[in-house]
Amino acid sequence: MTTKKIDIGGYVTKSNLFLAPLAGYSNSVFRRMCYDLGAGMTFTEMVSAKGLCYNSRGTAELLKIDPGYDGVNACQLFGSDPKFMKSAAESEYLEDFPIIDINMGCPVPKIYKNGEGSALLSDLPLASKLIKAVVSAGKVCTVKYRIGLTDKFLVTEDFAKMCEQSGASLITVHGRTRDKMYSGPVNFDEIRKAKEAVKIPVIANGGVFSKEDAEKLVAETGADGVMVARGAMYGPWIFSDILEKVYNKKEIVISQIKDTRDTFGERFAYVFMRKMLAFYIKGSRDAAKIKRALFSVESTDVLIEMAGEIIT
């Protein structure tokens, strides 16, 4: 695929490869690492607008910024109340985040039942108010959404137009319906419809696990770029693969362990990095056996030693 910079409301990304907001994974170290490997834009994991307004310590922790990250800071918010959305956008928590992405695609039942995430696909007037609330707070607003709730309830074009008309500067379209969750084929036709319906940049999302997947997604949809989600969890070097950049897996993983420890402490680091290493070795020889050994480790020093042996 042709890589290019994307202008988002005056903020220019270094490439059109984006890292998706990954709940439980998109911490500051992981975001900076993916950026260094070629991601042109990264987002925090999904943050509750209401949680920020109530000064939730746990919510605020999701907004850490790595000192080595020199890209544009973007936060993903979720919520269903325009007042909370505006207050969160105006809060000191987000003063270092010029771009706010609104989650309008999360399929998780807990989020959906609260009228948030993908529930907004069936309430365009409310979705519009949320976008306008963020814009009125002086932030550049982007939106990530799905093509519909089911194959019989597709809203791709109308939703794209609503986002643009409400003031969004970019949209990311996940080419699956809410009921498909994270599996099944990506609907290229629907993403293409979104691209053809608006003038603002459109990023395609869904099913990118390799350079070939990214190229096909852009070719089939005409999108301005791609957003990588689970593909980055299995190997953050996917961005370098797409850009054909040289990298060293061992060095990347060992640095991630050390940087995560330095930023979040020993216990968080070994618990978090056990999960990451399990992703990184998925599909390799003796993966199941190695995974069992990984989850008994309670030391980052041991993980570093293991990484030197199992990462190839």
Residue identified by tokens 């990347």 is 252
Residue identified by tokens 């005056």 is 10
d(CA 88, CA 227): 25
Question: What residue ranges of the chain have pLDDT lower than 70?
Answer: none
R_g (Cα) of the chain, nearest Å: 19
DSSP label at residue 180? G
Q: What is the pLDDT of residues 176-224, one digit of tens each?
A: 999 999 989 999 999 999 999 999 999 999 999 999 999 999 999 999 9
Give me the amino acid identity at 79: G
**Backbone φ, ψ for residue 193 (5° rounding):** -60, -40
- Provide the pLDDT for residue 202: 98
Taking Cα atoms as reference points, which of 219, 218, 209 lies closest to residue 239?
209
The sign of the dihedral angle between the CA atoms of 135, 139, 21, 189 is positive
d(CA 210, CA 216): 10
What is the 3 state secondary structure string of 226-260?
A: EEECHHHHHCCCHHHHHHCCCCCHHHHHHHHHHHH
d(CA 207, CA 203): 13
- Provide the pLDDT for residue 222: 97
d(CA 267, CA 155): 44
What is the 3 state secondary structure string of 50-86?
A: HHHHCCCHHHHHCCCCCCCCCCCEEEEEECCCHHHHH
- Maximum Cα–Cα distance for the chain, whole Å? 54
DSSP label at residue 300? H
- Provide the pLDDT for residue 259: 97
Which residues are part of the catalytic machinery? 106
Do 122 and 147 contact (CB within 8 A), yes or no?
no
Do 20 and 232 contact (CB within 8 A), yes or no?
yes
- Provide the pLDDT for residue 78: 97
Taking Cα atoms as reference points, which of 102, 99, 87 lies closest to residue 163?
102
* DSSP per-residue letters across 96-131: T--EEEEEE----HHHHHTT-GGGGGG-HHHHHHHH
Q: What is the pTM of this model?
A: 0.95
Q: What is the pLDDT of residues 109-118, one digit of tens each?
A: 999 999 999 9
Which two structure tokens, joined as six digits, stand for 110?
């807990």
HSE value, Cβ hemisphere, 13 Å, CA-based, for 127: 28
- Provide the pLDDT for residue 55: 86
